[in-house]
């Protein structure tokens, strides 16, 4: 029994959320999904380890949850949107996670994004049919 | 007969909603992004739709990974926004149109799009933020809305070609609805961005602009790309742009381009607003 190969497997630095990733991380993602409910967030905060046990989140997955290791969770197959439900209220934004993946600061990550917009207005002017203020 | 007046695309990222909630739309970072919505808002005021259909993806509010419908249609009288885990105050609920939804579901299934029908459907930022960007915030929303969710979260996700065909089937479904109703379709999400992995933070402005140009005038162009090819260029979350094709497919081939606005970066993404109007619609 092997997981099927995909054309997207060799995109560098990219973990496409497919069955191969979603299957082993199902319990972890279910725990993260539960944080939509405020009562669940409170229950988790009172006893994180017991909450993991309740969701059958064990071993390295449980350790990552208990240590707020969001990067570790993503590497183990947490879905980014589900991870954000836990990380964002704890002060880790999606941009913080992106920066951590690259080993740079969030400020550097944000600057790299801003650099993508350099020359944009000129580019749009040249194309002619775009709104430009 | 229901009539499709046109379509609008919009980013739906959470940061857009936060900027509106925190009155930051004229802040230097946000000003150009939001100002570019001006002509789209003016067109909407003139178009005066009786109803909008919002094509978006759920990000883990209504659907968990236990059941992931490829295409899901709201078939209820009311749709509620809710806490997505961040403790934000939900927006006012959205009024739907159940008889129209069920007509669309029936027509789509007759046309071999076996859509998932939802009598309860919570709508998340993907649905809410484009409406907030285009209508502003309201205690009672000025227009009823029907959610049409596309899975872009857990692969396999549908191809761009399939989304375009769904749009064409949606157009036929609306044309065959007996009641007079003016409809505008929102295609949301995108454009290029990637949130996870060492490649997080990519934005491909050239690809985004080409997508905007081609989706407006020659949407078949994008169907040459597999989802792997789109993700290679536009990032894993950039795949959301395929949802624009549902809107585009529902419109006439010769729909007129009213407005094109592109901005990057906004949060982690390239963001595009495209307003298309059907011939003889106004």
Q: Which class for A40: exposed (0-12), middle (13-18), buried (19 or more C-beta within 10 A)?
A: middle
Residue A29 — φ and ψ, nearest 5°? -65, -30
Give chain B positions within 8 Å (CB) of A29.
64-65
Instruction: With a cut of 50, list the residues of chain B below it in pLDDT.
Output: none
Give chain B positions within 8 Å (CB) of A120.
205, 262-264
In the predicted model, what is the mean pLDDT of chain A?
A: 96
Give chain B positions within 8 Å (CB) of A99.
200
Q: How far is CA A99 from CA A25, A70, A110, in A?
A: 23, 12, 9
Which domains can be identified in chain A, with CATH numbers?
A: 13-91 (1.10.700.10), 103-133 (no CATH)
B:66-85 residues touching chain A, CB 8 A cutoff: 66, 82-85
Q: Is B98 on the interface with A (CB under 8 A)?
A: no
| Structural domain spans, chain B | 2-277
Rg, chain A, Cα only? 19
- Could you tell me where the DSSP H helices lie in A47-119? 48-54, 59-66, 70-75, 80-87, 94-102, 106-115
Residue B46: helix, strand or coil by DSSP? helix
Q: B114: which residues sit within 8 A by CB, 6+ positions away? A: B108
Please report where in the chains the tokens 């191809």 appear, as a residue. Answer: B159
C-alpha angle B235-B241-B244 in degrees, rounded to nearest 5: 175
What's residue B45's pLDDT?
Answer: 97
What's residue A1's pLDDT?
Answer: 82
Of B193, B259, B261, B263, which one is the catalytic site residue? B193
Question: Do the Cβ atoms of A97 and B195 come within 8 Å?
Answer: yes
Q: Which class for B114: exposed (0-12), middle (13-18), buried (19 or more C-beta within 10 A)?
A: exposed
Give chain A positions within 8 Å (CB) of B66.
30
Residue A133, pLDDT > 90, answer: no
Of B125, B259, B261, B263, which one is the catalytic site residue? B125
Q: Which of B61, B64, B265 sits opposite A116 (nearest CB)?
A: B265
B193 has catalytic annotation:
yes
Contact by Cβ (8 Å): B143, B44: no
Pick from A21, A113, A133 the residue to mutate for testing the B interface (most B CBs within 10 Å): A113
Give chain A positions within 8 Å (CB) of B236.
14-17
Q: How far apart are CA A37 and CA A32, in angstroms?
A: 10
Q: Is B161 on the interface with A (CB under 8 A)?
A: no
What distance in Å separates residue A82's CA from the closest CA in chain B? Answer: 7
What's residue B178's pLDDT?
Answer: 96
Query: In terms of CA atoms, which chain B residue is nearest residue A76?
Result: B197
Residue B149: helix, strand or coil by DSSP? strand
Q: ipTM of the predicted structure?
A: 0.97
Q: Could you say which architecture CATH assigns to the domain B2-277?
A: 3-Layer(aba) Sandwich (3.40)
What's residue B173's pLDDT?
Answer: 98
Tokens at B57, concatenated: 């993806």
B:6-65 residues touching chain A, CB 8 A cutoff: 32, 35-36, 39, 59-61, 64-65
Q: Which of B35, B232, B263 sits opposite A11 (nearest CB)?
A: B232
Tens-place pLDDT, residues A11-28: 999 999 999 999 999 999
Helices A80-87 and A94-102, interaxial angle, to 10°?
110
Pick from A9, A22, A25, A36 the residue to mutate for testing the B interface (most B CBs within 10 Å): A36
Q: How far is CA A16 from CA A26, A78, B152, B177, B228, in A?
A: 15, 11, 11, 39, 9
Residue A80, pLDDT > 90, answer: yes
Query: In terms of CA atoms, which chain A residue is nearest residue B272?
Result: A130
Closest CA to B216 of B158, B261, B172, B182: B261
Question: Do the Cβ atoms of B84 and A131 come within 8 Å?
Answer: no
Q: How far apart are CA B157 and CA B151, in angstroms?
A: 6
Tens-place pLDDT, residues B32-80: 999 999 999 999 999 999 999 999 999 999 999 999 999 999 999 999 9
What's residue B212's pLDDT?
Answer: 98
DSSP character for A71? H
Give chain B positions within 8 Å (CB) of A44.
none
Count CB neighbours of B117 within 10 A: 18
Q: Is B259 on the interface with A (CB under 8 A)?
A: yes
Q: Is B86 on the interface with A (CB under 8 A)?
A: yes
């Amino acid at each position: 029994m092997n997981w099927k190969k995909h054309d997207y497997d060799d995109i560098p630095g990219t973990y496409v959320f497919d069955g191969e990733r979603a299957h082993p991380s199902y319990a972890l993602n279910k725990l993260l999904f539960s944080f939509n409910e405020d009562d669940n967030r409170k229950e988790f905060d009172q006893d994180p380890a017991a909450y993991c046990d309740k969701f059958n989140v064990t071993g390295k997955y449980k350790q990552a949850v208990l240590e707020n290791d969001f990067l570790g969770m993503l590497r183990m197959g947490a879905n980014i949107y589900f991870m954000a439900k836990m990380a964002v209220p704890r002060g880790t934004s999606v941009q913080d996670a992106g920066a951590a993946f690259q080993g740079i600061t969030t400020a550097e990550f944000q600057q790299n994004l801003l650099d993508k917009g350099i020359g944009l207005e000129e580019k749009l002017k040249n194309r002619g049919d775009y709104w430009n203020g | 007969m229901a009539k499709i007046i046109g379509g609008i695309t919009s980013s739906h990222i959470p940061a857009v909603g936060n900027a509106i909630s925190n009155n930051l739309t004229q802040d230097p970072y946000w000003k150009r992004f939001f100002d570019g919505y001006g002509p789209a808002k003016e067109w909407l005021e003139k178009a005066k739709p009786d109803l909008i259909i919002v094509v978006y993806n759920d990000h883990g509010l209504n659907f968990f990974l236990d059941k992931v419908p490829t295409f899901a249609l709201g078939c209820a009288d009311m749709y509620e926004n809710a806490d997505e885990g961040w403790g934000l105050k939900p927006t006012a609920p959205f009024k739907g149109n159940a008889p129209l939804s069920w007509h669309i579901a029936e027509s789509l299934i007759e046309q071999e799009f076996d859509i998932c029908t939802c009598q309860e459907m919570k709508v998340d930022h993907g649905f809410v933020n484009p409406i907030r960007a285009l209508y502003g915030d309201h205690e009672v929303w000025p227009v009823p809305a029907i959610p049409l969710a596309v899975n872009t979260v857990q692969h396999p996700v549908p191809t761009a070609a399939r989304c375009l065909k769904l749009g064409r089937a949606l157009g036929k479904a609306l044309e065959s609805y007996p009641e007079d109703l003016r409809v505008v379709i929102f295609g949301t999400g995108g454009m290029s961005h990637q949130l996870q992995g060492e490649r997080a933070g990519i934005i491909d402005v050239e690809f985004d602009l080409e997508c905007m140009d081609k989706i407006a005038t020659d949407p078949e162009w994008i169907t040459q790309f597999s989802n792997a090819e789109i993700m290679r260029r536009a990032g894993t979350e950039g795949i959301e742009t395929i949802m624009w094709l549902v809107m585009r497919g529902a419109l006439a081939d010769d729909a007129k381009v009213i407005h094109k606005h592109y901005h990057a970066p906004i949060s982690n993404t390239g963001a595009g607003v495209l307003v298309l109007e059907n011939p003889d619609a106004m």
